[in-house]
Amino acid sequence: MYEYFVKRTGQAIFTAFVVITLSFGLVRLMPGNPADQLRGQLIRNNPDLSQQEINRRVENYINIDYSAPLHEQYLDYVAGILRGDLGRSISQNAPVSEILGQALPWTVFAFSVAILLMFAVGIALGAIMAYQEGTRFDVSTTGIGIVLNSTPNYVTALLFLYVFGFTLGWFPTSGHISSQVVPVVNPLRPVATFQFVADAVYHASLLIAAVVITGFGGVALAMRGNSIQVLGEDYLRVARLRGLSDTRIALRYVARNAILPMYTGLLLAFGGVIGGSAILEQVFTYPGLGYYIVAAVEGRDYPLMMGGFVLITLAVVVGAFIADLTYGLVDPRVTTGGDGS
């Protein structure tokens, strides 16, 4: 187990190192040097600034001194990330780490709720489909699942926004919470906390619905396939011959073994949603991490853009790392190299 932990930790650190290195290199491959772009903006907006002051501001914003040798630029860049210093946003005029730190909890909240609902609905439906394999219900739900899974979530989001937001007016079309609600989470103030959480869920309802509607079909089809494979195993025939109840067989043997392969996908989804949040948050004007990244791309805000990309990729790496470590707990065969004995 110790060797397994060390090996996975080393892989995660190496992956994070590669991601940070790639982000450093990609900035230099962008059309138009970001430092030159920023220097031009500063000159246009502040014609009275000296060249020395402009260079100082460019270094402060991007967190890289372009006049230094390449290896020193790289070391300064990595050191800045390790300190949590991602530079200063041009468009927001605030530290990038502060902007992303305030936006990230909203993205994690909305998409975590959406993913948990998506997997819960998909797993339950997939298990029922497997037990009714070949029936009209199985065929029809399989078709619906394929159609929904093939529909881009932003198409569903636009449809929901038009129908339930603008036409019917049932849900808000932008923002995190209502202006009159105080954002507070305090066990000593349960009423205010409940109002805040309920209002946050209300504002994120359409976004959550778009993710669930377009995602649960794929989960259901995966669960159906896993369950059908498990139902054909010999140990289930033995369990039936031993006289075990169908409920116990379904929950203890079928469901447990069918869900195991989806565990990694669930944890990776938590990391992946941060990267996939950009379009949906832009559609619903939901100021989360993806919303600010799109705004940074549109406004050529390179420091905010670079910080967002690094945070997204590191979130995926952390999700895969947690999946690697905890999968061995739910399936001991992983730590023994597949030797079930």
Which position has the token pair 């033995």?
A: 238
pLDDT score, position 328: 66
Cα–Cα distance measured from residue 321 to residue 323, given in angstroms and rounded to the nearest whole number:
5
- 92-101, 205-214, 248-257, range with the lowest pLDDT: 248-257
Question: Above 50 in pLDDT, residue 42?
Answer: yes
Question: Above 70 in pLDDT, residue 49?
Answer: yes
Question: Across residues 79-90, what is the average pLDDT?
Answer: 78
pLDDT score, position 163: 92
Sign of CA dihedral 31, 75, 54, 305: positive
Structural tokens at position 293: 């990244």
pLDDT score, position 62: 65
Which ranges in the chain belong to alpha helices (H)?
A: 2-29, 34-45, 51-62, 70-82, 96-131, 136-150, 153-160, 190-203, 205-231, 234-241, 246-248, 256-283, 289-298, 302-330
Question: Across residues 294-314, what is the average pLDDT?
Answer: 78
Question: Across residues 212-241, what is the average pLDDT?
Answer: 82
- 22-36, 188-202, 311-325, range with the lowest pLDDT: 22-36
Question: Above 70 in pLDDT, residue 63?
Answer: no
Q: Yes or no: say if 165 and 158 are a contact pair by the CB < 8 Å rule.
A: no
Question: Above 70 in pLDDT, residue 13?
Answer: yes
Higher pLDDT, 306 or 137: 137
Question: Above 70 in pLDDT, residue 239?
Answer: yes
Higher pLDDT, 153 or 46: 153
Mind listing the pLDDT tens digit for each residue in 150-206? 888 888 889 999 999 889 989 988 888 887 877 777 778 888 888 888 888 998 899
The proportion of the chain whose per-residue pLDDT surpasses 90, expressed as a percent, equals: 3
Is 204 in a helix, a strand, or coil? coil
The proportion of the chain whose per-residue pLDDT surpasses 70, expressed as a percent, equals: 86
pTM above 0.85, yes or no: no
DSSP classification of residue 63: S
At 340, the pLDDT band (50, 70, 90 cuts) reads very low
Supply the mean pLDDT for the chain.
Answer: 79
Question: Above 80 in pLDDT, residue 41?
Answer: no
**Whole-Å CA distances, 243 to 46, 47, 128, 249, 253:** 83, 86, 22, 10, 14
pLDDT score, position 332: 61
pLDDT score, position 335: 55
pLDDT score, position 333: 60
Question: Above 70 in pLDDT, residue 134?
Answer: yes
pLDDT score, position 274: 64
